[in-house]
Each structure stands twice: as C-alpha cells, then as structure tokens.
Amino acid sequence: MRAGKLPTIARLGRMFERTALVRDETDLQEVLEDVCRTIGELVGYRAVVVNVYRPAFDDMLTSAAVGSEEAVQQLVGESSPRETWVPLLHERFERRGAYFIPGGEIDWDGLGIESYVPPIPPSDDPDAWTADDALFVPLRDPKGLLIGVISVDEPDTGRRPNDDEIDALVAIAGHAALALRMAQDTANDVQHQRMLEGILEVSARVAEAEDPEGILQAVCDGIRDALGFDTVVIELAPRPDMPLVPAASSGWHGEPRVSEAITLDALEAMLTDEFEIAGCYLLPTQVADERLKSSPVDFHAELYGRGPNAWSRHWLVVPLTEPQGRRRGVIWVDEPRDRLLPTRGRLQALRLFANQAVAALQSADQALKLRHEATHDALTGLLNRRAFRARLGREVGSRSPRSR
C-alpha cells in the first residue's frame, strides 16, 4: 500500500466512527457536515451539499454544505419539491452510480431548484468543469427509496470527474446514506420506548378505580407525549343517541370540542372496515366531512404536510368499546408533530392506550356497583341496615350541641 493512501484511510475511518455514533438529529447534522468536509478533502471539491428528503413535505431540504460563505448562505435551509429532482436523476445522466449533468443539458432557472452558480471562467478544454456542470449522488435506503442527494461542484482539478473520482464519491455517499438510516432507526427506537413506557404507566394506574378521571387524563397525556399527537381528547356519551361530551384532553387551548352535535350513532358512518387499521379509524377529511353532513366540525388543525405520506387534516378516531360490545365514547387525536400519517405500530400503541381508558371506565363502574351493593338491599334496591345506621349516625351527629 502506498504511503499516500494512509491519510485517506484515516480520514474515512474517522467519518465512519462518527456515523456509528449517530443517536439523534444533532449527531446526524454533525455527520452530514463531516460528510461534506470529507468529500471536499478526499475527492477534491470546494463545494459539497447534502440534501435530505422530508416525507412530511415530499421535498428535499438542503441540510448541510461546505463551500464559499455566499454559497452556504444561499443554499442551506432551502427546500424544493421532490418531483423537481426527477429529471436530474434521469438514466441518461447516470454514471457509475452518480449522475453527471453537463452544462446546457438542464434549464436550471425553469426547474425550480435553488442553485448556486460558481464564478468559473470558461475554458477551451472539452474536459474542463464549467459553471453549469453538476454532479449528484442519490442516497437510498435498503428498499431503494430516495432519502437524500449529495451534490458537488468546483473540483480542485478544474476538470470533469474520471471514473476513480466518481467511485470514491459514490462510496462515501453510501456512508452518508447509512448515517441517515441509523438516525431514522434510532428515532423510531426512542419513540417505541416512549410508547411502551407510557402504556405501562397508564396500566399501573388502572387499578385506581376511585379516580377514573385521572386515568383518562393520563391516557390523553400519554398519547400526546409518547405518540406525538399535539391534540388529544376523550369524549363520552351515556347513550349512543346523545352528544359526546369531553371527559379529558391534552394540548387544547380552551374548552376541547370536536363538534357540538356528534353522537356515537352519527359516528357509525365513519367506522367502516375500509378505514380500520389496528382498531383505529383513519379517514381523509373529505370522506369524514361527507359522512358527517349533519355534524359540522369546528376544529381545524395546523400541523399538516403535503405528499402521499403526509398528514393532511385527516380524522383519526379510536372507539372506546367494552368487550361486551357497549361503546362508551371515542378518542380523537390530531396534529402529529412529525406531520406524517401514523404507522401501523403507532396505531397499535394508540389502540392500547384506548384499551386502558376502557379498563378505567369499567373499573370505575365496578367500584360504583360494589358501593351500591354494600348499602342497598339486593331485592328491593332500598337502603339496607348498614346504610340506615350510617345515615342515622350522621343525623344524630348533626343535631348534637356544639361544645364551647
């Protein structure tokens, strides 16, 4: 091995070590910036940019960059719709896993992507890098889905890349993709842990039958904290034909109220198999509005995204149904902080929280029944001797002269 290769291997090793330590978004940001610096140092580009795909908005966000101060300020934080990147990653530009676009092949102004044109003087050399040349490397997950794009500009050599340089760029980009996947997996693991902790905490309180209101409030708070929905409300109704009334809520400003007229009977139009996932019902807002024509909704969410996987003012309803089939109410959740449609795992956790609410209501009913049986005759329903004596004691006590 040549001595000149040692600094290269050491630099890559340090970058790989940092990739393995990614645990949160801050770590990821540091790794992406390190990826930019590593590509600049090892492959020889003065401008390197990492764009990260955001599924909640179906766009690319420029997350990290190295280069001139003007270029970094102009690019970092800018976003562009995913579809604008499709022509840039066309097979006619593909080269060894990267995409090289010679100047003049793309109308950058008409494409709608924020770009920086470096001050590169023209050259008569046909292999010289021009100001309008572009080189991209897509970052993909194990399923082949696009999760980001690295772009480079201003090569130190002043020339268009050869095969070895492209191979090196593609190899380093693979580790940037790994860092992104590790950060996403870690975030999912952390969220899963919060889900379990929240469910266990509420489960431990279900035995407190004397405080059903507190348990319902704990369910709301648990859903908000562990599952990441900013607004949660539990509504109950004594009968299916009576309006639902808030019993507990979290994240609302003022009195929580989904609607002034919704009943459990009216909700039956929404709770159909085609929208059921893990015991929850997820509906597009247009469908929900159509099926609740006589029950207009007052609440308007603010946290929503765009694109095929984004939350777009959907309805997410979880019925509170006892094992015997009696429906007590519903849980409404809205405004997911990640602005994404919930995964099946998230909905399964939501269903578990709803089960805890049902258990709390049943425990409260059972405690009330036991208290009633302790003070009333089973046949007549009248107060029994124990209750009579207790009431007599109170009456006598209230008539006794007060000691001075």
* Helix or strand holding residue 257 (H, E): none
- What's the burial of 82, exposed, middle or buried (CB within 10 Å: 0-12/13-18/19+)? middle
pLDDT in tens, 68-118: 888 888 888 999 999 999 999 999 999 999 999 998 898 887 777 777 778
Q: Please indicate whether residue 20 or residue 269 has the higher confidence score (pLDDT).
A: 269
Q: Across residues 185-189, what is the average pLDDT?
A: 76
DSSP 306: -
pLDDT category at 159 given cuts 50, 70, 90 is: very high
CA dist., res. 27 & res. 17, Å (int): 12
Specify the CATH number of the domain 206-375: 3.30.450.40
Is residue 403 predicted with pLDDT exceeding 50? no
CA angle 129, 130, 132 (to 5 degrees): 130
- What's the burial of 6, exposed, middle or buried (CB within 10 Å: 0-12/13-18/19+)? exposed
CA dist., res. 232 & res. 25, Å (int): 26
Residue with tokens 């929900």: 288
Contacts of 285-288 with CB under 8 Å at 24 or more apart are 285/312, 285/313, 285/314, 285/315, 288/315
Residue with tokens 């004691």: 393
pLDDT in tens, 300-325: 556 678 888 899 889 999 999 998 88
**What's the mean per-residue pLDDT of the chain?**
82
Amino acid identity at 337: R
Q: Across residues 219-227, what is the average pLDDT?
A: 90
Q: Across residues 254-267, what is the average pLDDT?
A: 74
CB 167: neighbour CB atoms within 10 A?
15
Query: Given its phi and psi angles, is residue 113 left (phi above 0), alpha (psi -120 to 50 degrees) or beta?
Result: beta
CA dist., res. 114 & res. 134, Å (int): 13
pLDDT in tens, 356-402: 889 888 877 665 555 545 555 556 655 556 555 655 556 655 555 55
CA 312 to chain centre: 13
What pLDDT, on a 0 to 100 scale, did the predictor assign at position 249? 93
Residues 6+ apart with CB under 8 A from 25: 183, 187
Is residue 63 predicted with pLDDT exceeding 70? yes
pLDDT category at 5 given cuts 50, 70, 90 is: very low
Name the β-bridge partners of 98: 95
DSSP 76: T
Question: Is 206-375 the same fold as 5-185?
Answer: yes
What pLDDT, on a 0 to 100 scale, did the predictor assign at position 199? 81
Nearest of 121, 110, 33 to residue 76 by alpha carbon: 33
CA dist., res. 360 & res. 341, Å (int): 28
3-state secondary structure of 69: helix
CA dist., res. 345 & res. 216, Å (int): 22
Q: Is the dihedral of CA 90, 95, 100, 102 positive or negative?
A: negative
Give pTM, 2 decimals: 0.74
CATH homologous superfamily of 5-185 equals GAF domain (3.30.450.40)
**Helix, strand, coil proportions of the chain in percent (round to 5)?**
45, 20, 35
pLDDT category at 153 given cuts 50, 70, 90 is: very high
Point out the least confidently predicted range of 1-5, 87-91, 218-222: 1-5
Domain residue spans of the chain:
5-185, 206-375
DSSP 341: P
Is residue 404 predicted with pLDDT exceeding 50? no
What pLDDT, on a 0 to 100 scale, did the predictor assign at position 52? 92
pLDDT in tens, 247-260: 999 988 766 655 56
Q: Across residues 153-180, what is the average pLDDT?
A: 89
Is residue 1 predicted with pLDDT exceeding 50? no
Is residue 129 predicted with pLDDT exceeding 90? yes
Buried b or exposed e, range 344-380, using 16+ CB within 10 angstroms? eebbebbbbbbbbbbbbbbbbeeeeeeeeeeeeeeee
CA dist., res. 107 & res. 83, Å (int): 15
Given a contact cutoff of 8 angstroms between Cβ atoms, the answer to whether 332 and 232 are in contact is yes
Q: Please indicate whether residue 138 or residue 364 has the higher confidence score (pLDDT).
A: 138
What pLDDT, on a 0 to 100 scale, did the predictor assign at position 31? 82
Amino acid identity at 199: I
Point out the least confidently predicted range of 125-134, 196-205, 355-364: 196-205
